[in-house]
Every structure is written in C-alpha cells, then in structure tokens.
Structure 1
C-alpha cells in the first residue's frame, strides 16, 4: 500500500505532537505527508483562504490523496473534499462533528466569557477533559500546548474578521469518521447526526475510552482503523467505479 498517499492536514501545528505516533504508525504502510498551515498573527484568514492554499498542493500531486485531519483540521479537510472531490481518494475525520463550529476552542471561548476564572485555570481544567492521563505532568504540558495553540494557530473566532464555517454536508468521496466515546466536545449524539450525511461505503467508528485527543493515547487503534479503511477504498487513479465499495456498511463499533 506504499503507493497510497496520505496528506495529514495540520492547521494547529502546536498540537501536532499529539498525533505524531499515529502518523508514524501509518507511515509504515503508506506515504504520509504533513500539510501544515501557519498564518501571521496580524493576518485575517478564513476557510476559503486555507482551501485555496490546500488546492494548490493537491492539484499538483501526481496521485489522488487520502486526507486526514483532527478537530478543526478534519472539518476543513472534509469541507474541502465536499467542494473539490477531484484528486481526493478519501477523508478520515477524527474528533469531528457535523456542526462545524463545535470545536474544543469554542468550548474554551464560552467558558472564558462566562466564568470568573483565569485563562490558565480554564485551560488546566480542559486539559483534564480533552486527553486521558491523570498525571500532573501531562496536564501541565497539555495546558501549555492549548495556550500556544490559541495564541499562534488557526482557531475559529480568534481573529477580528470572524467568518462562519459552514456545516458538514454529503461529500462524494469515501468518508471515515472516528470519534471518542468519552469526548465532551463531540457528544454521543454525533453518530446520529453523521448518519444523515454518510453514504453506503462510509464508516463511523467510536473508540470507547477515547477523549477528544484520542490519537495521542489510542494511537495504535486509531492507525489500525484508518489503515483498514484506506485498504478498502478503491484506487481512484485506476478509475474504479464507486459501486466497488458499496458492499461496505456504515458502522458504529467500539474499538
């Protein structure tokens, strides 16, 4: 499967260390490239800008790519495939809801505006909810990573010119959705919401003990699910008919 190209979409580079083991595991069987995006702190940026830059990369690839993204990166990757399905073999969306604005950062912004707490205390509290790990060291590192992400990365609502992100709709490419069973950001009803948009051949998987950043702690399960899905997706460069994968059913499984 080394001929299959994976493009890991990374709009929040400050958090990439949480996904590194998953990408390294996938790299054993696939060609994995990281598409990282950073913008100037004084620069106004919206989804269309990101899509335009991403399209320049994808249009210049020699083979169709499998897009993978977590959170806001997964949302943007899905919306890209929804608009521009050419040269996209599949999309794997991790910790993604059909309501595009439902991100961990939106929960932070809501708590920050309503609670009489400092930024540090809110982020420290969120760090306990977003990732498995009871040690004080893990919480301390996560708190710093979340703060760095808010200060430097692509965050909906963090810039002066606030743009609305459209919600998920059906996409004409194979779709894999993986969500955590203990994710307070993407709630348990997300599976029901996703079923309105998943086609025959698409797949919804739930990692029962996973929280929002489950690829950090459940990297082996995560990579195995993605690998199994990609292996079932027809090679788009061979122009196989979509009916090839219609025997697959939309599933909800505890891993």
Structure 2
C-alpha cells in the first residue's frame, strides 16, 4: 500500500475542482494524497461515518501525517485530529471558523429561515457571498452546483435541524487560513481562533481572498502551508502521554461550551 506525507480531505466531491490547483502546487514538494468521501443516495448524512472511513485509510500509515481541508472538509479533519491526535502530524484548516458549526451550509439554511425568497434566489445570493460578483450565466451554474451538494452530499445541517460542533483546537500543530474578504468566516470568526492556539500554531489571512481563496491564490497559499510543514518538522514530537493530557484538557473546555460529536 502506498504511503503519503499529507492527506487532503474532500467531504464534498463536487467542490474538488476548487482544491485541485493548490493540491498540484503542494505535490511539487511533497507526497500529497487526495481523500474524497462519496455518499450514496440512500445513505443518511453522518459525519461519524465519514470519520470512520477516514480512519480506515489513515490507520494503515506507519507515521503521522499532515492533514488539511477546506470548509466542511477541514471541519472533518478537525474532528479527526481531536479523536486521533497520535495520527496527525499537523492540521491545516482553510475557511474554518473557531466555531466549526458555522460554515456556508449554516449560512444557507439561516437565510432560508429569514428571507422570503425562493431557494434559487437564496442560492444566487450564496454564490455572490462565496465567490464575489460575476456574470449571470456563471452564477447560475454555481448556484446549481451548490444545490446539488445540498441535496446529495455530506451536509452538517438541514432546514429541520442544526448540528452543534464544539469550538476549540487540537493537540497537533495547527495552521488556520482564511480569505481576508470571506463573508462566511469573517475576520472576527477567524480571530476567535486566538483563544485556542498553542505555541507554534499559526493564523494566516489571504489578502484579497474570499471563501475559496485557495482556488484564486494557490501559489501563495501553498507557500504558507509548506513553510508551516517545515516548521512542524523541526519541532519535537509530543509524547503520547502529553498528547492525551492536552486532549483531556481540550475536551473539558469544549464540553463546557458544546457537546463533542457523538455525545
């Protein structure tokens, strides 16, 4: 079985087109594997199922790996790193706020509740929020893409229910990136990560970037990630006992604010 240094997570396969350029940049310097979660039509949305399948792949590796993902995929990585800190050399989150429950899915359903608009009109507003202004034809295509993702792929929320995921960090070294002009993970949501950062963790804002900043600025984003991975490689690895102690403390803090997934 092939080994790899880093694993890019993709919880919504139809969005992988926005990840590809950054993945290609990273592959020039290290061995990156692309992991995608495909949900069948009859399968219920379950983050726990995705985590279990992810663990099947990662546990076969002989050494800890760098884990990274954008949006919901990053949230999946965050939860995995909390459950299995010994398997994660570092975690890189792109467009994930300190409250991981609040992604673009949550914004969409909140708008559905508050605005007297059709689903199509709200999706077009979401497109502008996520990608910025564009011509009508492209906006319609992206709105259709978002609708398909909401209907067929892993989504943490619905009109009837919102899943709450505990805010907080991880024991592994952490890099959190966002777009300077992201309307979903705004500067305040990004800055709230300061509460959870450890020594060596890092926050980075991509100038002029929106929610999919890594698609528009893959080269600069890859430079930041590779610099972080180089920094992590020079750091001493925490002992398993130390990792467990850190995770115990993190879990206590998270349980005071929200339930951990699966509780």
TM-score normalized by the length of structure 2: 0.83
Aligned residue runs from structure 1 range 93-242, under 5 A:
93-132=93-132, 134-158=134-158, 164-234=163-233, 240-242=236-238
Instruction: Indicate if the aligned counterparts of 2:47 and 2:154 stay in contact, CA closer than 8 A.
Output: no
User: Deviations along 1:160-209, whole A, 9 cap, x unmatched?
Assistant: 8x573422323111100001111111121123310111101000000121
> How far off is 1:128 after superposition?
1.4
Alpha-carbon distance in 1 for matches of 2:81, 2:98: 14
> How far off is 1:132 after superposition?
4.2
> How far off is 1:44 after superposition?
2.2
TM superposition outliers: structure 1 runs of 4+ over 6 Å: none
Within the alignment, does 1:76 sit opposite 2:64 as a pair?
Answer: no
Alpha-carbon distance in 2 for matches of 1:152, 1:233: 37
1:52 aligned partner: 52
Alpha-carbon distance in 2 for matches of 1:196, 1:88: 21
Alpha-carbon distance in 1 for matches of 2:21, 2:118: 32
Q: SS where residue 86 of structure 1 aligns?
A: helix
How big is the alpha-carbon RMSD for the aligned residues of Structure 1 and Structure 2? 2.2
Alpha-carbon spacing, 1:106–1:117, altered in 2? closer, same or farther (3 Å): same
Alpha-carbon distance in 1 for matches of 2:150, 2:59: 30
Alpha-carbon spacing, 1:159–1:113, altered in 2? closer, same or farther (3 Å): closer
Instruction: Indicate if the aligned counterparts of 1:47 and 1:165 stay in contact, CA closer than 8 A.
Output: no
User: Deviations along 1:199-220, whole A, 9 cap, x unmatched?
Assistant: 0100000012111111111112
Alpha-carbon distance in 2 for matches of 1:92, 1:40: 28
Instruction: Indicate if the aligned counterparts of 1:46 and 1:163 stay in contact, CA closer than 8 A.
Output: no
Alpha-carbon distance in 1 for matches of 2:205, 2:226: 15
> How far off is 1:15 after superposition?
0.8
Instruction: Indicate if the aligned counterparts of 2:4 and 2:33 stay in contact, CA closer than 8 A.
Output: no
Structure 1: runs of 5+ lacking an equivalent: 244-255
Structure 2: runs of 5+ lacking an equivalent: 240-263
Q: SS where residue 63 of structure 1 aligns?
A: coil
Within the alignment, does 1:29 sit opposite 2:66 as a pair?
Answer: no
> How far off is 1:31 after superposition?
0.9
Alpha-carbon spacing, 1:64–1:125, altered in 2? closer, same or farther (3 Å): same
Which protein has the bigger helix share? 2
Q: SS where residue 73 of structure 1 aligns?
A: helix
Alpha-carbon distance in 1 for matches of 2:148, 2:237: 45
Count of matched residue pairs: 237
Alpha-carbon distance in 2 for matches of 1:127, 1:80: 29
2:61 aligned partner: 61
Instruction: Indicate if the aligned counterparts of 2:99 and 2:168 stay in contact, CA closer than 8 A.
Output: no
